[in-house]
Structure 1
Amino acid sequence: MAGTSGEAAMPLSVAEIAARAQDFEYNPYIRLKVWLRTAELLLREAQIYEDEGNIQQAYMLLMRFVTLVADKLSAHPDSKEPANRRALKMMIKSIPDAVDRLEVLKPRIVARYNTWQTENAGREESAADVWDGQGPGSKRRLSKYAEADPAIAGRAKTLEASEHSGLAVKLAHKEIQRRDDVRRTTRQSNDRDQGGYEGDDSTDLQRRIEDTRRRMDSRERHTGGTPKKLTKPHPSASEPSLAAPRSSEYRYPSISKSRPFQYEDSIGKMERNFGRESAPPIPEKQVIRSTISYESPAPMRPAKLLKEEPPSSTPSPVDEPSAYTFKPSAYLENGSPLRTLFLPTLLRESFLSIARPNTQANLETCGILCGTLISNALFISRLVIPEQESTSDTCETTNEGALFDYCDKEDLMVLGWIHTHPSQTCFMSSRDLHTHCGYQVMMPESIAIVCAPSKSPSWGVFRMTDPPGMKSVLNCRQTGLFHPHPETDIYTDAMRPGHVFETPGLEFKVVDLRP
């Protein structure tokens, strides 16, 4: 298979992984809530890598989480504010669990490293030949960072994203469906254990109807009376089954009474009623369905769902995320690897369709790019339109709590954002740079898509350089809407070449959170 490495390279030692975990730049001027989201993302990524068997990367992320929260965030200038104190306290409570997971992973990493050393004693490994991904016409160069990347060091069957986009799409569709099924099952189980079901109004209503019927049955048994029938349907109940006889009287959906089945009594009743006219059929038990989409938070517009293929019931080994690891497709200017980010080809078209009314009114529109991590690659699977306030030159998200609550509920990672320039050219304004800086702090692979439908080029996919772009913007204290920065190479194209691949056939959903 072209572009596939089937032989595992040298794994990393615990000391090497620990050194990599410490290698990140902390800036106390970044708001604490951004760092808290970053810490939460580290835990989420670590869990995915651990589930896929990539224990080196899981170990590195867990150690970075402990270092960030214990050594840095506890002393952050915003940590004393009441609004941040509780969130920080909750994050600190996660440290013991992270340390326990580190202790479980450590002996496995040591054993793997020692085994490799024994089996390859005296063998010299050549340095990996990787693409630095910087600008058009970039040449290949040797990079120490390729061998020091815990995500791919020692991993067999590493893939070049540019040569295996079809496999990437197949992996993504199957794994996203599997995770959705697991999350839905877990959520339903937890809600049953708690005696409520906040996420499904129909199930909650059905339960209340059953409880009411049982109380009526109990009252009938104890008092010997007959419950009165309602002459009008209850406004919260569903329509009776079509199989039921037409009547002005309301009939509850048929629900089994909580009494034991008596076989002999049933035979006797059948014999006594033999030859008589049969009673009208009892309406079948109905499932009362909510008109609100299960996956959509209320209130909101219905999510646009693109056609999905049903997952195979018997996945082959090639479809398992743990079977392969995608190589980084580019590197930051400081040499740190950037994981491949797969972008659905039709996403821009869908976004521009939603933004068209604002664009015609010369107002900006923004959307959030959400997705997940699979096999050391990032897949955008959701376009979320948040609540926002717009002008001709700006677009500010409002009610960010609702956005992050939705992402947490759906187990989504924020991978970047997309916005329009209704009347301006396709570029990153100073306001855009300050906005995107927060995204790239949380995840270096985060992207900013700018759409300028009336100009040429009409769109672009960008990231900030690091260095000098990230440090320049983080240290900038100017507050004007548009202000210059001294660096000329403050941001760069993330596609030509870069770590972003527009991928045909990659499915996604559109969710509009605006009221």
Structure 2
Amino acid sequence: MASLGAPLGVPDLTKQAENYEYNGYIPLKSWLRSASTMQKEAQVYEAEGNDPQTYLLLYRHANLVLDKLLNHPQKSLPENRKALNAATAAVNRDLRKLEEIKPRIAKRHNEYQERRKVQLKALESLEGKGAARTLQQDFEGLSLNRSSAKRRSYEKAHLDAEGNRSLAAKLAQREVRRRDVARRSVRQAGVSEDEEHERRVAGMWGDWETELKRQSGEADDDLSSQIQEVARMQQNGQKAPNFSVSSPCTAIGRGTHASQRPTSYQPTSTYQYPSVPHKSAQERWSGSDTRLPTQGTGPIRPPKELFRGPFDATPEAPALPPKSPTAPPSIPIFEQPRAPPIPGKYVEGAPSAPAIPAKLLDSSSSTPRPSSPSTDGQDLDEFTFKPSAYLENGEPLRSIFLPQQLRHQFLSAASKNTRLNLETCGILCGILKSNALFITRLVIPEQTSTSDTCETVNEGEIFDYCDKEELMVLGWIHTHPSQTCFMSSRDLHTHVGYQVMMSESIAIVCAPSKEPSWGCFRLTDPPGKQAILNCSQPGIFHPHHVDNIYTGALKPGHVVELANAPLELVDMRPGK
């Protein structure tokens, strides 16, 4: 990972990018998945404005594909050709993007070096620890006076994951909601899952998605202006024009949790309301004049003191007279089943005018309103998580946030197998945000099981699903129905494939009948990862004559349990 402190120059980043282990005996399909993971990570860091980390990952991806994978012994196998061709095509885009990023990195590094030279000279001429301490802080950090709107990812506050769990939970919830809304918008625009996946893989998605949001915003603004024009003409006693407006129907993107799905609404008329309007009707008509458009044809209201509630002691004539029979008909745009009621309408025989509903009284009411998501979002974007642990070789590990409810949901799904003394496995999938990894989905694939083993069926389907859902594979989980909580030799050989793809990958073992009942592990690096990669012993279960081959990943490791974290379970087993 690129340094979170002093900005590195292009040569330093290039050196870091080339510093990775490659083993030609690892199947090509595993390396291709690792290359795909690098691409996903680079896209996230690019969106967050982290040029150094984007450059490092894109350069490493290009180096891996061109120098290593094109010469892999399995490059000619039919099942690998398509993925290898796609990875090679992605490198061409990487190279163009690297040329765009390189000048920005060089400029930032040079500015830092010039500033440091000036400050070092000033430091030499000053006396006193206070001045030296202040200047030294300036050397190591970037300016904190820069506006937050211009601050890039690597210039934000670096927080400890363990001590900021509530912020992490809010960040994960917001990101899952954002992805869900974006997916629904894509479906409303008529883009299929296959086309969406093709756009993302082809590197075209970022600009296309931005354009989609811009067009959506323009459509909402146009609808808002039309409604306001209707209100203005109503107030002036004119007949409103017959606008022709259409909007896409609500669609639910794949992977949306049932509790997050919107309720569909089918209007009875030809006009369709937008599924998620950006401005409420009350906000559109708020201001000095708070009347609804349909009130424009009535007489001017008397002062508020003359309004009386239904329980007033002295009945009087209603403040608002009934509408004239010759009043113009209601505007078609408001003839909907859920149109707001017209306050002040006279009902014959009523002791007084009905009270105006509270929602329509005054938009400047002192009733507090919840904070808008955009404000909260700005606050959540003002920090990034620092590495929480390190590999044995000194490489930093990003934090993985593990939902507390994950084990309970997994054991519930595995309960039938557990009673039959059969193992069950699941895949831990998630997202990258603010330099931390969040497990947000538990996928239980189709599988075959025994009392001591568990094998996934149609493994490619799992990775295709993750690609379509923009998810990263962060590890796996499985049960030991009757054994203790440990990593067997078979488990170690399974997990090395995950840890090759991503150093932070974890393996969770659940032993519900033993104590401890669960554990979260990773291979040591070195010596565990290297020992397993170089192991050629036959048989499913065999000993490894290496000490310290795996270790715990929970505190003081890089895994942090997180309450209130979003989590969805997807069971791909037949009949589920």
Q: Structure 1 length normalisation: TM-score?
A: 0.70
1:192 shift after superposition: 7.6
Q: Distance in 2 between matches of 1:20 and 1:53?
A: 19
Q: What does 1:308-319 align with in structure 2 at a 5 Å threshold?
A: 312-316=372-376, 318-319=378-379
8 Å contact 2:399–2:436 — kept in the other structure?
yes
1:457 shift after superposition: 0.4
Higher CA-based Rg: 2
1:325 shift after superposition: 1.6
Matching of residue 463 in structure 1 with residue 522 in structure 2: yes
1:504 shift after superposition: 0.9
Q: Distance in 2 between matches of 1:34 and 1:489?
A: 25
1:176 shift after superposition: 2.1
Q: Distance in 2 between matches of 1:97 and 1:445?
A: 27
Opposite residue 295 of structure 1, the aligned amino acid is R
Matching of residue 339 in structure 1 with residue 298 in structure 2: no
Matching of residue 501 in structure 1 with residue 497 in structure 2: no
Q: What is aligned with 1:159?
A: 159
8 Å contact 2:7–2:112 — kept in the other structure?
yes
**1:332–1:193: structure 2 CA closer, same or farther, 3 Å change rule?**
closer
8 Å contact 1:32–1:78 — kept in the other structure?
yes
Residue aligned with 2:565, SS = coil
Opposite residue 376 of structure 2, the aligned amino acid is S
Q: What is aligned with 1:143?
A: none
**1:391–1:153: structure 2 CA closer, same or farther, 3 Å change rule?**
same
1:58 shift after superposition: 0.5
The C-alpha deviation readout for 1:43-90, integer Å capped at 9, x for no partner, is: 110010010011110000000000000000000011011111222111
**1:122–1:480: structure 2 CA closer, same or farther, 3 Å change rule?**
farther
Q: What is aligned with 1:417?
A: 476
**1:440–1:306: structure 2 CA closer, same or farther, 3 Å change rule?**
farther
Q: Distance in 1 between matches of 2:564 and 2:66?
A: 43
1:509 shift after superposition: 0.6
Q: What does 1:16-27 align with in structure 2 at a 5 Å threshold?
A: 16-27=12-23
1:402 shift after superposition: 1.8
Return the structure number with greater relative CO, CA threshold 8 A, min gap 6: 1
Identity between Structure 1 and Structure 2 (%): 54
**1:114–1:288: structure 2 CA closer, same or farther, 3 Å change rule?**
closer
**1:420–1:317: structure 2 CA closer, same or farther, 3 Å change rule?**
closer
Residue aligned with 1:46, SS = helix
Q: What is aligned with 1:182?
A: 182
**1:190–1:17: structure 2 CA closer, same or farther, 3 Å change rule?**
farther
Q: What is aligned with 2:254?
A: 295
Matching of residue 9 in structure 1 with residue 5 in structure 2: yes
Q: What does 1:21-420 align with in structure 2 at a 5 Å threshold?
A: 21-121=17-117, 123=119, 155-189=155-189, 191=191, 294-296=253-255, 312-316=372-376, 318-321=378-381, 323-420=382-479
Q: Distance in 1 between matches of 2:89 and 2:444?
A: 32
8 Å contact 2:153–2:384 — kept in the other structure?
no
8 Å contact 1:306–1:509 — kept in the other structure?
no
Residue aligned with 1:422, SS = coil
1:182 shift after superposition: 1.9
Q: Distance in 1 between matches of 2:401 and 2:535?
A: 31
Pick aligned residue for 1:482 from 538, 541, 564: 541
- Consecutive unaligned residues of structure 2, counting only runs of 5 or more, are 121-139, 142-151, 197-245, 263-369
Larger mean Cα displacement after TM superposition, 87-96 or 465-474: 87-96
8 Å contact 2:188–2:249 — kept in the other structure?
no
Opposite residue 178 of structure 1, the aligned amino acid is R
**1:376–1:72: structure 2 CA closer, same or farther, 3 Å change rule?**
same
Residue aligned with 1:47, SS = helix
8 Å contact 1:306–1:507 — kept in the other structure?
no
Q: What is aligned with 1:438?
A: 497
RMSD: 3.1
1:171 shift after superposition: 1.2
Count of residues paired in the alignment: 388
Q: Structure 2 length normalisation: TM-score?
A: 0.63
Residue aligned with 1:364, SS = coil
**1:37–1:187: structure 2 CA closer, same or farther, 3 Å change rule?**
farther
The C-alpha deviation readout for 1:482-513, integer Å capped at 9, x for no partner, is: 10001121100000310000111112111111
Residue aligned with 1:93, SS = helix
**1:409–1:358: structure 2 CA closer, same or farther, 3 Å change rule?**
same
**1:38–1:311: structure 2 CA closer, same or farther, 3 Å change rule?**
farther
Q: Distance in 2 between matches of 1:493 and 1:195?
A: 41
**1:48–1:195: structure 2 CA closer, same or farther, 3 Å change rule?**
closer
